[in-house]
Amino acid sequence: MANTPFDTRASEFAGDLTVWLRENAEDNSEQMDRLKRNLRQARVQELTPRQRQVLAMYFDQGKNMAQIARELGLNRSTVSRTLVRAKNRLYRCLRYGF
């Protein structure tokens, strides 16, 4: 044990802890399902059409801000601000109950 490098021992502990947490963690699938359902509903009800469009292009289609800006004929900074506002609106909506 004295000859074992510290890094090796630390990674073994982290691996052991990860396995233990995975085996003993509570099941949160019900909460995740509710969150996903509320997120879908909030995207439809709480966001503007432009925010929905930009959010879908960014997260669902995997496009970057420059690609979205080019396709929509907008400034990259406009796309960035639109994403920030949409995410903030969704966060507030989901945090304070929907």
Per-residue pLDDT of the chain (98 residues), as tens digits, is: 455 454 545 567 777 878 887 788 787 788 889 889 999 999 999 999 999 999 999 999 999 999 999 999 999 999 999 999 999 999 998 887 65
Residue 16 within a domain: no
Q: Residue 93 in contact with residue 42, Cβ under 8 Å?
A: yes
Residue 98 within a domain: yes
Q: Which one, of 67, 68, 41, lies nearest residue 54 by Cα?
A: 68
Sorted by sequence, the CB contacts under 8 Å of residue 87 that are 6+ apart come out as: 55
- Please report, for the domain that includes residue 68, its CATH number: 1.10.10
Q: Which domain holds residue 94?
A: 48-98
Residue 78 within a domain: yes
Residue 8 within a domain: no
Residue 37 within a domain: no
Residue 14 within a domain: no
pTM here is 0.67
